[in-house]
Structure 1
Amino acid sequence: MIRGLIFDVDETLVYYEGYTLKSWYEEVGRPAMERLGVVLDWETFRRIVKGELSRRYVERFGIDHVEFWKAMDRANRAYRERLLREGKIKPFPDVEALGELRNLGLKLAAVSNASQDNTELVLGAFGLDKHFDVVFGKDYSYLDGVKPSPYLVNKALNALNLKPGEVLLVGDSSNDVLAGKNAGIKTVNVTRFERVDGADHYVENLWELVELVKKMLGT
């Protein structure tokens, strides 16, 4: 029996006009690193973000990895605040479906690889935070716990007091699907941008998710 859902945030609930990871690296990430005296080439940065390299990798440059990623997140905060002012961060039209899922009596969590404050900033900007029982961004005490690691997903499970078999993880990326699989949770790929191999279910939007959940609940 499904009793809860864990949602990714970026590109699942909200989107960023003109955003790609590489464009963010060029505009925000690389200048922030250079101010710290660290230069990661694009491929190395991509591998760290995708979880292929440890976030401790940066310590070979003589900087504490926690302080490095906190500085990157401060730069990301300024970037997100600017995009919000410019109207370039927007919720998908179907996010109203979150209210319908709440009406079904389900517990909801949001889990993001962005920092806690950056995640709360974006959810709060559109009033989406009201739908969630818990919100977790990356944990500075264990930075390698970002998706595809199951660490943050397990934190959400514990906070919701639910078992893996009682939850669906909903996201847009391969990291979301892998994080769900690694936590023993069935996954739903929202195919806004691509169809990710390995998901248990596929929906085009969150209203289709509502119908999927209703079928699972027998309502």
Structure 2
Amino acid sequence: MQIKGILFDKDGTLFDFRATWDVWAGRMIHELAGGDSVLSGKVATAVGYDLSTNGFRDDSPFIAGSNGEVAEALVRVLPQYSTGQLEHFLSVRAMEATLAPAVDLAPYLTGLAARGLALGVMTNDSEYSARNHLSEVGVEGHFHFIAGFDSGFGAKPSPRPLLAFADHLGLEPDTVVMVGDSTHDLLAGRRAGMRTIGVLTGTAPASELAPLADAVLPDIGHIPAWLDAAAS
């Protein structure tokens, strides 16, 4: 097996999902509800957030969906806003999240690049948010390809944005590994004809990811050892 490229999901993969987004979401829900406790409950339910535990439920559209999908869920309980307004709100507020990288990203990505690997990011967040987050932790320049749901290739679980990465780098899909924390990520990878790795820095358990993954790892830091084992 020769791996030439790795395409990463962002939230739950490069960044630990709960450490980054659970607290942020609580503030976002309070703001959208204007401090109204009853409305806060409705907003929380719409986005799959548990106010009693201050964390997202496993079935939340926020985990694997696009900002557009989350906005569509929100507009049902916040009809005073348009879907476009809510989508913009989510993108802007996402810039305020306190990011929690799954590993020390700069040296980690440098190490992967030293292996001759092409690196990319495909997220169901917006491309603007993705570039902002990667820039904030100083690693945007490590990637040859960065795409969001709004970059013109569609959103996962469609294989189109993954194939766009392969096309951009001139790689055969079966030489690329898709790495993600959700079944959306892994299903997209399978559909694209790529290898798939699931990581446990999101909300999905190993049992949910395993049927779609060549390997399920604790976090992306274990990928170099997996590459070494796969090559031997």
Fold match by TM threshold 0.5: yes
1:205 CA displacement: 2.4
Residues in 2 aligned to 1:43 and 1:180: alpha-carbon distance in whole angstroms: 25
Residues in 2 aligned to 1:78 and 1:138: alpha-carbon distance in whole angstroms: 16
Asked if the contact 2:175/2:195 (under 8 Å) is kept, the reply is no
Any gaps of 5 or more consecutive residues in structure 1? 32-38, 62-67
Residue 29 of structure 2 aligns with which residue?
26
Asked if the contact 1:28/1:75 (under 8 Å) is kept, the reply is no
1:178 CA displacement: 0.8
Q: What letter corresponds to residue 229 of structure 2 in structure 1?
A: K
What per-residue deviation string (whole Å, max 9, x for no partner) do you get for residues 130-189 of structure 1? 2111111113656xx211111211111111111111111111111111111111111001
- Find runs of 4+ consecutive structure 1 residues off by over 4 angstroms: 20-25, 27-31, 43-51
TM-score when normalising by structure 2: 0.70
Residue 127 of structure 1 aligns with which residue?
138
* Structure 1 residues 99 and 182: CA distance shift in structure 2, 3 A: same
Q: Kindly indicate whether residue 99 of structure 2 is the aligned counterpart of residue 89 of structure 1.
A: yes
Residue 223 of structure 2 aligns with which residue?
209
Residue 86 of structure 2 aligns with which residue?
72
1:204 CA displacement: 1.5
Residues in 1 aligned to 2:160 and 2:182: alpha-carbon distance in whole angstroms: 17
- Please provide the CA RMSD for this pair: 3.3
1:27 CA displacement: 4.6
Asked if the contact 2:64/2:182 (under 8 Å) is kept, the reply is no
Residue 189 of structure 2 aligns with which residue?
180
More strand by share: 1
* Structure 1 residues 141 and 211: CA distance shift in structure 2, 3 A: closer
Of 195, 210, 215 in structure 2, the residue corresponding to residue 197 of structure 1 is: 210
* Structure 1 residues 162 and 189: CA distance shift in structure 2, 3 A: same
Residues in 2 aligned to 1:42 and 1:175: alpha-carbon distance in whole angstroms: 20
What per-residue deviation string (whole Å, max 9, x for no partner) do you get for residues 33-66 of structure 1? xxxxxx9x72799569856xx96x96xx9xxxxx
The residue correspondences of 1:76-155 to structure 2 (distance < 5 A) are: 76-83=90-97, 88-95=98-105, 96-139=107-150, 141=152, 145-155=154-164
* Structure 1 residues 22 and 11: CA distance shift in structure 2, 3 A: same
Residue 35 of structure 1 aligns with which residue?
none
Residues in 2 aligned to 1:189 and 1:48: alpha-carbon distance in whole angstroms: 18
Residue 14 of structure 1 aligns with which residue?
15
Any gaps of 5 or more consecutive residues in structure 2? 35-42, 49-58, 76-81
Q: Percent identity?
A: 24
Residues in 1 aligned to 2:61 and 2:201: alpha-carbon distance in whole angstroms: 23
TM-score when normalising by structure 1: 0.73
SS at match of 2:95: helix
Residues in 2 aligned to 1:82 and 1:108: alpha-carbon distance in whole angstroms: 26
Residue 65 of structure 1 aligns with which residue?
none
Residues in 2 aligned to 1:18 and 1:108: alpha-carbon distance in whole angstroms: 22
SS at match of 1:14: coil
1:81 CA displacement: 2.5
Residues in 1 aligned to 2:61 and 2:141: alpha-carbon distance in whole angstroms: 34
